[in-house]
Amino acid sequence: MIPCLKRSLAAALALLLVSLSGCASASSRLQQTLSDILQVREAASDEGGVGPVALSDEGEALLRALGLEDDALILSLRMPEGAAGLSLNVYRLENGAWTLCDGGGLTWDGDAAQAEGTASLRVREDGGLALHLRVDGASASYSAQAAPEDAFTSSTQGFLQDFAPAQAGDEIPVAFWVRDAGTSMRSYALDDFADPAAFDGMDFVQFATVAFEAP
């Protein structure tokens, strides 16, 4: 595995753990420990895009022990040719259209092709999101507000399962959350981001995307 990507993966999970404890001083110690146990089963793709990190058995066991296996997503990133920026965005469906409500990104001077890093998303206890980007040593953290405190009785979510190739200008949906006060709910997929009407009747819909921005 590429050494800089291994360090980025360790840093991403370290930040997830630090966000749970609220102790930033623990980050360096956690990163060193996680560097020893976090391995991916498959090498990163050589083409630009985003995909889920395939953790080793030890890495998966760690997430399960922390209760994060269903509430956290760690993604590996490679910037495509011609891309000059990267954004981790959170959208909510309002009046039948997507509204950008939270998130942020990193930009470079010139072409950032082949720059590598990670993105992490974690569902907080209050239902909001903790987001983090780390690419070639540059990092940024964001948060997304929690869903309204309504009496939701049905919910579903989905995370990116396979590597998604990308070109400069592409925006890739990587996670979604749907909640409703009804007693039944159809199944949804990340591809439904392209068709907001698929969520007609749902009380709360939220998507996270990774955007590879052109100059």
pLDDT digits (tens, 9 = 90+) for 67-125: 666 677 888 888 898 888 899 999 999 999 999 998 888 887 766 667 888 888 888 77
Mean pLDDT, residues 140-167: 85
Alpha-carbon distance of 155 to 140, in angstroms, equals 29
Tokens of 20: 């749970």
pLDDT, position 115: 84
| Residue 187 pLDDT greater than 60, yes or no | yes
- 205, 98 contact by CB (below 8 A): no
Confidence category of residue 203, pLDDT binned at 50, 70, 90? very high
Burial class (CB in 10 A: 0-12, 13-18, 19+), 191: exposed
Dihedral pair phi/psi, residue 180, rounded to 5°: -155, 155
Structure confidence at residue 113 (pLDDT) = 65
